[in-house]
Amino acid sequence: MKNSVTVEEKGQHLPASIAEYVKSPEKQRQLHAKTMRIVIFSQMFGGAGLAAGITVGALIAQDMLGTDSYAGVPTGLFTLGSAGAALLVGRLSQRWGRRAGLATGFITGGVGAIGVVLAALFNSILLLFLSMLVYGAGTATNLQARYAGTDLALPKQRAKAISMAMVFTTFGAVAGPNLVNLTGRLATSIGAPPLSGPFMLAAVAYIVAGLVLLVFLRPDPFVVAKAIAKEQLDNAVSDSDQAKLSLAHETTMNKKGIILGATVMVLTQIVMIAIMSMTPVHMQHYGHSLGKVGIVIGIHVAAMYLPSLITGALVDKLGYTIMSFASGITLLLAGLIAAYGPGDSMGVTILALALLGLGWNFGLISGTAALVDATPLQVRAKIQGTVDVLIALGGAAGGTLSGMVVAHSSYTALSLAGALLSVLLVPVVLWSRKKAYEKLMKKHTG
């Protein structure tokens, strides 16, 4: 891996394992298909690891601290931890390829999950908070895995590739919350608190996901994609200056596209994390069992990932600006229903959380597509990691502040704040469309 990247960057001859893909479009298609299969398989395990934190993270803190005021802190911490991990995974991927970055992130998340189990065993708040930070690496990696499918995808297939990586996360992510009672009994049988059970599952799931990528993601799709881009540039230089200028134009960074993609993803993350993280606590106040909490969160996570194939097709067909509008409207409805629906109604809670997950899905896929289109390969993974840091920081703020808002006001106030925040997506999208129109008109009149 190291030699492949170094040789490619110095412009020397590529190793045969990379060169055969650079010269053959058919080989590129085969590698893209293989990459998608490996990413999909790893995401099924990654989804199971992700589900533990959002299902029982707040409940563990509530149980250990005896108050709701800091119940959102674990969600905030693992989201904050995912910020640092997103930067690390992005930098590792840019330097060494997706395989190194994603495998490191997942295995680190598994280590964090083990720490949470130990914290519950020894009733250590400090260890819980530190472990949640490390556990967040899995969350960041789960999100960044969506980029791996785009490295060798054609421009009109990128949203579909993103959606395929996400949709298979559903299998593990939905299974995780619905295994709360089973994993709880397993934890109790070995003398551990029942709420630590889902994190035992997370530890195994994250580590398996990391090992799958480490062993099977060869040759690395990002390394191959960079080699292809360099080959195209070299050919353009040798062909004509005009071809060189044309290719340079295609690889120019689109800052407005980056701003649009980043803003859409950050806002949807804040709204989703804030409302989702306090829903389990809100439900328990109305007497709902842990099993019912698992059902609601399972449906929420299904709505986050399961519609991805349809969302990806819509983004490819309609464009990411229209789907960004759809994200804002869906999140607005979710916040209003969560705010004004009866708290003792499972049906209303399920509807609100399902819409919350669907709005997040629209925002993440449309924002990711905008970001990929706006970034050249030379800096793509690095920028993707940086933007995911902003997403994670936004989610951390939403998760941490959510418990304080509920403790000092109400779940209704929190949900209304989320609904109002989602409306900000509308002016952001309108701004981007105006800038794109002005750029188009300038091009035609110039």
How confident is the model over 120-179, as pLDDT tens digits? 899 898 999 899 999 999 988 988 888 888 888 887 788 888 888 888 877 777 777 777
Distance (Å, rounded) from C-alpha 402 to C-alpha 393? 14
Residue 38, pLDDT above cutoff 90: yes
User: CATH number of the domain at 23-225+249-445, please?
Assistant: 1.20.1250.20
Write the single-letter amino acid at 165: A
Average pLDDT over residues 90-115: 94
Average pLDDT over residues 16-28: 84
Distance (Å, rounded) from C-alpha 39 to C-alpha 126? 34
- pLDDT computed for residue 271 by the predictor: 96
Share of residues in the chain with pLDDT > 70 (%): 87
Contact present, 95 and 115 (Cβ < 8 Å): no
- pLDDT computed for residue 437 by the predictor: 47
Average pLDDT over residues 356-377: 92
Give the ranges where 12-124 is alpha helix by DSSP (H). 16-22, 25-65, 73-96, 98-122
- pLDDT computed for residue 5 by the predictor: 40
- pLDDT computed for residue 11 by the predictor: 42
Average pLDDT over residues 213-217: 95
Residue 431 phi, psi dihedral angles, 5° rounding? -60, -45
End-to-end CA distance of the chain, in Å?
46
- pLDDT computed for residue 71 by the predictor: 66
392: pLDDT confidence band, cut at 50, 70 and 90? confident
Q: What are the residue ranges spanned by the domains of the chain? A: 23-225+249-445
- pLDDT computed for residue 348 by the predictor: 95
Residues 6+ apart with CB under 8 A from 160: 153, 309, 312, 313, 316
Q: In whole numbers, what is the pLDDT of the chain averaged over residues? A: 84
Of residues 372 and 109, more confidently modeled: 109
Residue 76, pLDDT above cutoff 80: no
Of residues 60 and 245, more confidently modeled: 60
Residue 14, pLDDT above cutoff 80: no
Of residues 311 and 55, more confidently modeled: 311
Per-residue burial over 217-230, b = 16 or more CB atoms within 10 Å of its CB, e = otherwise: bbbbbbbbbbbbbb
pTM confidence score: 0.74
Q: What are the tokens at 236?
A: 């353009």
